[in-house]
């Protein structure tokens, strides 16, 4: 592809744009999620990506939920958004994780009227485009340091560097990252993934969430235009905790994993399990200890889901506030999200472990792939340690100390 810019976003259309609704999108994606769920185990075993299903989800404009109708969105609340994320993660947590940057982009459009290049980003969302983004690098230096460079070149920029944890990059149309200018200023760029010099590698090799397309993105003399670059600066915002939704999203993925563990526990007990030799029951569904275990898995899944949806309501309450009220509400919401992360992580890990207690050795068959629930929950949990979340929440309750504004709360 040449570096010449192809921009059809402003093209006129005779027909009025389609109208999307929360209920309409949820109804349209239900069969897609069922297909995702049915093949999740097979994809895990064979390392196959869900390209068709992800494209189908994008075509239903899932990221328009939560964006106001007057902006061309589907309307709905942040609770509606997180409820959908839980449903996607319940079908396949890899796909939910891969869509994270797309939902984060949509949330910025929904919550920030002052967002740079908001109109063009909204057009891309309405077109069904997906996004990938990361600031992470593996090139050494202090945590969060940026070695990717961006320099002026004519009426645009040239970017060189390498990013890692490029979640969702193989599915995306756009890639965003951070780069350091010659004067030390950190800039955020967003370029098409097929721009010359952009190379996406499928080299993510964690124990879980293996199919999230979270590998390396190389940038070799990538050109960026002026309206594809902005300065990274949140210091003047009334609410500096811009990372709260990103953290809530991870908790929603954990809630979906817990629900998936429940689904598999119920299926296996009903369809496959046999009572242990000294059980008083003739069917596993009648064994009191199996019932207790499934009940506890259900309770863990419910706890995670409830905490996530409550946090979504609290976080939405920050929107529209300004000044000291925005800062106070933002801090409280960040703490609520941090506490939700603790509950969701521990609920998912426990549910995934208890799944193996509903039967004997047969449930550990590799072909079933049930171990993926724990591995996926564990990998999501390692994004941001829950000990930090709990400690920050404790400090807030004890002394009123505000949470860090690093983006992890």
Q: Where are the domains of the chain?
A: 22-129, 149-231, 244-399
Whole-number Å distance between alpha carbons of 82 and 209:
19
Whole-number Å distance between alpha carbons of 155 and 151:
11
What count of Cα atoms within 13 Å lies in the side-chain half-sphere of residue 262? 23
For residue 74, give every residue at least 6 positions away whose Cβ sits within 8 Å of its Cβ, in sequence order, or none.
20, 21, 22, 24, 25, 61, 64, 65, 66, 67
Question: Is this prediction's pTM over 0.85?
Answer: yes
| Contact predicate 167/101, CB 8 Å | yes
Whole-number Å distance between alpha carbons of 88 and 101:
14
Q: What is the CA radius of gyration of the chain?
A: 22
User: What topology is assigned to 244-399 in CATH?
Assistant: Butyryl-CoA Dehydrogenase, subunit A; domain 3 (1.20.140)
Q: Once rounded to an integer, what is the mean pLDDT over residues 380-390?
A: 94
Q: Of the CATH numbers 1.10.540.10, 2.40.30.10, 3.40.50.20, 1.20.1740.10, which one belongs to the domain with range 22-129?
A: 1.10.540.10
> What pLDDT score was predicted for residue 235?
65
Whole-number Å distance between alpha carbons of 92 and 298:
18
The token pair at 381 is 């949990």
The single residue listed with the structure tokens 């106070």 is: 328
| Contact predicate 163/219, CB 8 Å | yes
To the question of domain 149-231 being in CATH 2.40.110.10, the answer is yes
Same fold for the pair 22-129 and 244-399:
no
Model pLDDT for residues 252-306, shown as the tens digit of each residue: 999 999 999 999 999 999 999 999 888 889 999 999 999 999 999 999 999 999 9
> What pLDDT score was predicted for residue 173?
98
Higher pLDDT, 231 or 74: 74
C-alpha closest to that of 311 among 107, 79, 66, 68: 79
The DSSP bridge pattern shows strands 156-163 and 174-180 to be unpaired
Whole-number Å distance between alpha carbons of 364 and 356:
7
Model pLDDT for residues 325-364, shown as the tens digit of each residue: 999 999 999 999 999 999 999 999 999 999 999 999 999 9
Model pLDDT for residues 246-265, shown as the tens digit of each residue: 999 999 999 999 999 999 99
């Amino acid at each position: 592809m040449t570096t010449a810019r192809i921009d059809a976003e402003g093209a006129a259309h005779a027909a009025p744009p389609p109208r999307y609704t929360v209920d309409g999108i949820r109804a349209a994606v239900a069969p897609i999620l069922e297909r995702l769920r049915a093949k999740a185990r097979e994809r895990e075993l064979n390392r196959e990506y869900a390209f068709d299903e992800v494209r189908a989800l994008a075509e239903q404009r899932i990221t328009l939920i939560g964006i106001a109708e007057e902006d061309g969105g589907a309307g709905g609340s942040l609770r509606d958004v997180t409820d959908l994320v839980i449903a996607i993660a319940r079908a396949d947590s890899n796909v939910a994780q891969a869509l994270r940057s797309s939902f984060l982009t949509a949330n910025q459009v929904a919550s920030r009227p002052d967002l740079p290049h908001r109109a063009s980003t909204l057009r891309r969302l309405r077109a069904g485009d997906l996004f990938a983004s990361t600031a992470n690098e593996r090139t050494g230096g202090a945590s969060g340091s940026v070695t990717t460079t961006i320099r002026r070149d004519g009426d645009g920029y040239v970017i060189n560097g390498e990013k890692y944890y490029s979640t969702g990059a193989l599915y995306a149309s756009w890639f965003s990252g951070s780069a350091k200018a010659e004067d030390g200023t950190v800039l955020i760029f967003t370029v098409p993934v097929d721009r010359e010099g952009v190379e996406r590698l499928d080299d993510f090799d964690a124990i879980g969430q293996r199919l999230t397309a979270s590998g390396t993105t190389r940038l070799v003399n990538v050109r960026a235009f002026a309206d594809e670059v902005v300065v990274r600066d949140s210091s003047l915002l009334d609410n500096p905790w811009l990372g709260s939704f990103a953290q809530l999203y991870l908790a929603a993925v954990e809630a979906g994993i817990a629900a998936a563990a429940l689904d598999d526990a119920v299926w296996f007990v009903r369809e496959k399990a046999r009572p242990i030799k000294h059980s008083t029951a003739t069917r596993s569904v009648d064994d009191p200890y199996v019932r207790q275990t499934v009940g506890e898995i259900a309770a863990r899944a419910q706890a995670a889901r409830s905490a996530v949806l409550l946090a979504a309501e609290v976080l939405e309450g920050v929107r529209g506030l300004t000044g000291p009220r925005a800062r106070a509400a933002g801090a409280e919401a960040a703490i609520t999200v941090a506490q939700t992360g603790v509950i969701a992580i521990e609920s998912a890990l426990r549910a995934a472990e208890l799944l193996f207690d509903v039967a004997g050795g047969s449930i550990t068959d590799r072909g079933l792939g049930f171990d993926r629930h724990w591995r996926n929950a564990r990998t999501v949990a390692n994004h941001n340690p829950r000990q930090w979340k709990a400690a920050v929440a404790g400090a807030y309750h004890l002394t009123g100390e505000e949470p860090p504004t690093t983006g992890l709360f």
